[in-house]
Structure 1
């Protein structure tokens, strides 16, 4: 799914129960993190639920980032998948130019999360940018 697909789906789904079901479905689209990658270096600091995020460049021309993620709970895995939509399979430069705020506002996510989950979301997005910055230098 791309950001437009997600925004359209959230607009069509009139209850948060239905939206959470979609978020759960998105978790199945996550590229998996290998057990060997579930290290402190790939742990997203600031998340209450253990969440791992890593990324590699593809062989495409130009190279694109493929983010891989996992979390301890199904809900957080779904939220992670939802947050990765605007960034997945973009060049490091495009990721760094992406402002996720309109996307997050468009789906109304921030106001439906607890303060702890909102803080975790911000830490997760910060980690997305850190990975892009690192991969841009390669």
Structure 2
């Protein structure tokens, strides 16, 4: 899904109560993360909630990254799902070129989630960019 498609869906839903429900539904559709991946190596620092991110490399060509994640908070799982819609199954260069901050603003999330969740979201973005940078170099 593109930012445009996500923004269209958000606009169609109207009020923020519906949009939060949609986020929660997106989070529920995330494939489960294995018990082994719920560890310190996969944990994202800087989030108030517990968040774990992992990825697989699809060799390609071109090489792409597929992300997996989990959280103990429903809204945060939804934010993970939105982030994966924007980044998963893309090349490291495509991920690093994304302006996720402007996508976040375009969806209206910037002004409708708490400062702590916003900080956690950007911590997740940073982790995904680190994964992409590492894979680009390998």
Does residue 10 in structure 1 map to residue 10 in structure 2?
yes
Paired position in structure 1 for 2:89:
89
Paired position in structure 2 for 1:101:
101
TM-score relative to the length of structure 2 = 0.93
Paired position in structure 1 for 2:117:
117
Give unpaired runs (5+ residues) of structure 1.
none
Kindly indicate whether the alpha-carbon contact (under 8 Å) linking 1:23 and 1:79 is maintained by their aligned counterparts in 2: yes
Structure 1 counterpart SS, 2:54: strand
Displacement of 1:120: 0.8
Q: Distance in 2 between matches of 1:30 and 1:59?
A: 22
TM-score relative to the length of structure 1 = 0.93
Paired position in structure 2 for 1:34:
34
Displacement of 1:127: 0.6
Structure 1 counterpart SS, 2:86: coil
Give unpaired runs (5+ residues) of structure 2.
none
Task: State the Cα RMSD in Å.
Answer: 1.3
Does residue 133 in structure 1 map to residue 133 in structure 2?
yes
Q: Distance in 1 between matches of 2:95 and 2:61?
A: 16
Displacement of 1:10: 0.7
